[in-house]
Amino acid sequence: MFNKEIESMPLAKMRELQTERLKWSIRHAYENNAFYRKKYDAAGFNPDQFKSLDDMKRVPFLTKQDMRDNYPFGLFAVPMEKVVRVHSSSGTTGNATVVGYTKKDVDIFAEVVARCLVAYGAGEKDVIQVAYGYGLFTGGLGLHYGAEKLGAMAVPISGGNTERQLMLIRDFGSTMLACTPSYALNIADFIEKKKPDFDMRKTKLRAGILGAEPWSESMRKEIETRLGIEAYDIYGLSEVIGPGVSGECSAKSGLHVHEDHFYVEIIDPDTGEILPEGSKGEIVYTTITKEAFPGIRYRSRDISRLYREPCACGRTLVKMEKVTGRSDDMLIIRGVNVFPSQIESVLMEVEGTEPHYQIILDRKGAMDDLEVKVEVSEKLFSDELKMLEGLTKNISDRFRSVLGISARVTLVEPQTIPRSEGKAVRVIDKRKI
């Protein structure tokens, strides 16, 4: 374990630590951020009322909309000169969310990732090839700092360029590869089709650190068989810190949550009521040590279950089940979070009119394929081919720049997108996760 004292702390002691840290964090948000103060005052909640974990239910929730409304820095609780880094979700103004980190926050971020790496069996001698995107997305830098914190060697190759990924796995002797699970399968496809002589089993690669999108046990088996590695789940969200909020251990039977930094609850997504441990529901996160951006009772919309059981690895940290569902309509496409409303706003911006559209998600090989069907109204129509082709190109260019993902735009005849009770069926997800 990277931090044995914390990771194997008895529950009663952990609860004590959490209570103390929660008191600090709630007060920190209230006293140093105008939005929290206003929200808590309006709800009739004062940090003094928080005396024990039982009082958690009195604390108002933080939602993604709150974050959008406070774009870009409205939820920061430290002076800007103390903020040393920002990360952001993709999205237009009004849709993007921004998070900030102080030096201490960056250090905590690195530590939780380092703990995950150790749980996957990594040490100072490991070479960790980081094939998550480096940039505003938390994946690349998160894994990078975690690897350095551990004392391992980070290979900051970033995403894409599969041929080069293979070259570095071979030449640098990478032992662990951090990427999305669909990219891991994409690498397996690439080897089979283009590099049949490349034998992953002859390299030093032994584990995959896979996250940023939901994946199933069957995908795990496929990745492990085809690449000859152990595939581990790493989970996180930028609103909490980034990857490393929780991670699997050698037991592969759930992800240990780093609950000395993130307090977790399961609620009923409809009523907001806290459900007993072991129930399935929406996970709500509270950061209890973070300075720059305190996330107090952040509704993740991820559906999971929390449970405590003696783990073979010796960690006492609560486990969460692999996240496979959402309590809202957010889609995760090639690791990028996309709301249908963002797709709609791109279409409206391009056209100035609300078109009938449908989002069709499928897996082509290992990669997610996004098709957006747009009904051609008379406003969009032209007798000139170049105008219609320009329209589809314009829309797909906007998707790339606004959402950060590429989409195939298909023009279809009017009334061909099925409507149910007068409302179009907006999303068809054919992916088998």
Partner 1 sequence: MKVQQLSIFLENKPGHLENALKVLADRGINIMTLTIAEASDFGIVRMIVNKPDDAAAALRENQFTCSTTDVLALELDDTPGALLKALHAFSKHNLNIEYMYAFTEKRGDRAVMIFRFDDIQAAIKSLSSEGYNIVKNIGIIGA
Among 273, 414, 425, 429, binds partner 1 (CB under 8 A): 414
Pick the closer one to partner 1 by CB: 311 or 376.
376
Rounded to the nearest whole angstrom, what is the least distance from the CB of residue 420 to partner 1 in the complex?
18
Of 124 and 383, the one with the shorter C-beta distance to partner 1 is 383
Q: How far is the CB of 412 from partner 1 (least distance, A)?
A: 6
Instruction: Count CA atoms within 13 Å of residue 428 on its CB side.
Output: 13
Stretch that binds partner 1, among 88-96, 187-195, 284-292, 409-417 (CB under 8 A): 409-417
What x-and-dash track marks residues 365-394 binding partner 1 by CB under 8 A? -----------xxx-xxxxxx--xx-----
Beta carbon nearer to partner 1, 151 or 414: 414
Residue 413 Cβ vs partner 1, minimum distance, rounded to whole Å: 5
**Using rule CB under 8 A, residue 53 touches partner 1:** no
Pick the binder of partner 1 from 160, 194, 416, 427 (CB under 8 A): 416
Least Å distance, CB 348 to partner 1, is 19
Under the criterion CB under 8 A, does residue 406 sit at the interface with partner 1? no
Q: Is 418 in the site for partner 1 (CB under 8 A)?
A: no
Residue 318 or 409 with smaller CB distance to partner 1: 409
353 binds partner 1 (CB under 8 A): no
Query: Quick check: 415 binds partner 1 (CB under 8 A)?
Result: yes
| First and final C-alpha spacing in the chain | 31
Please tell me whether residue 420 binds partner 1 under the rule CB under 8 A.
no
230-237 and 325-326 as β-strands: parallel, antiparallel, unpaired? unpaired
Site string for partner 1, 322-351 (x = CB under 8 A): ------------------------------
* Cα-based angle 257, 261, 264 (whole degrees, multiple of 5): 50
The H or E element that residue 282 is part of is strand 280-287
- Of 311, 411, 428, 433, the residue at the interface with partner 1 (CB under 8 A) is 411
SS3 assignment for the chain: CCCHHHHCCCHHHHHHHHHHHHHHHHHHHHHHCHHHHHHHHHCCCCHHHCCCHHHHHHCCCECHHHHHHCCCCCCCCCCHHHCCEEEECCCCCCCCCEEEECHHHHHHHHHHHHHHHHHCCCCCCCEEEECCCCCCCHHHHHHHHHHHHHCCEEECCCCCCHHHHHHHHHHHCCCEEEECHHHHHHHHHHHHHHCCCCCHHHCCCCEEEEECCCCCHHHHHHHHHHHCCEEEEEEEECCCCEEEEEEECCCCCCEEECCCCEEEEEECCCCCCECCCCCEEEEEEEECCCCCCCCCCEEEEEEEEEECCCCCCCCCCCEECCCCEECCCCEEECCEEECHHHHHHHHHHHHCCCCCEEEEEEEECCEEEEEEEEECCCCCCCCCHHHHHHHHHHHHHHHHHHHCCCCEEEEECCCCCCEECCEECCEEECCCC
Q: Which is nearer to partner 1, 324 or 377 (CB)?
A: 377
Is 124 a residue that touches partner 1 (CB under 8 A)?
no
- Of the residues 410, 425, 427, 429, which one makes contact with partner 1 according to CB under 8 A: 410
Q: Is 360 in the site for partner 1 (CB under 8 A)?
A: no
Binding residues for partner 1, rule CB under 8 A, total: 18
Least distance from partner 1 to the Cβ atom of residue 304, Å: 39
Helix and strand numbers, DSSP H then E, in the chain = 11, 22
Distance of closest approach, residue 403 Cβ to partner 1, in angstroms: 21
Instruction: Select 415 or 420, whichever has its Cβ closest to partner 1.
Output: 415
Least distance (Å) from partner 1 to the CB of residue 406? 16
Work out how close the CB of 382 gets to partner 1 at its nearest, in angstroms, rounded to a whole number: 7
**Least Cβ distance, residue 344 to partner 1 (angstroms):** 20
Least separation in angstroms between CB 425 and partner 1: 18
Q: 218 vs 382, which CB is nearer to partner 1? A: 382
Contact of 96 with 68, CB cutoff 8 Å? yes
Binding residues for partner 1, rule: CB under 8 A, are: 376-378, 380-385, 388-389, 410-416
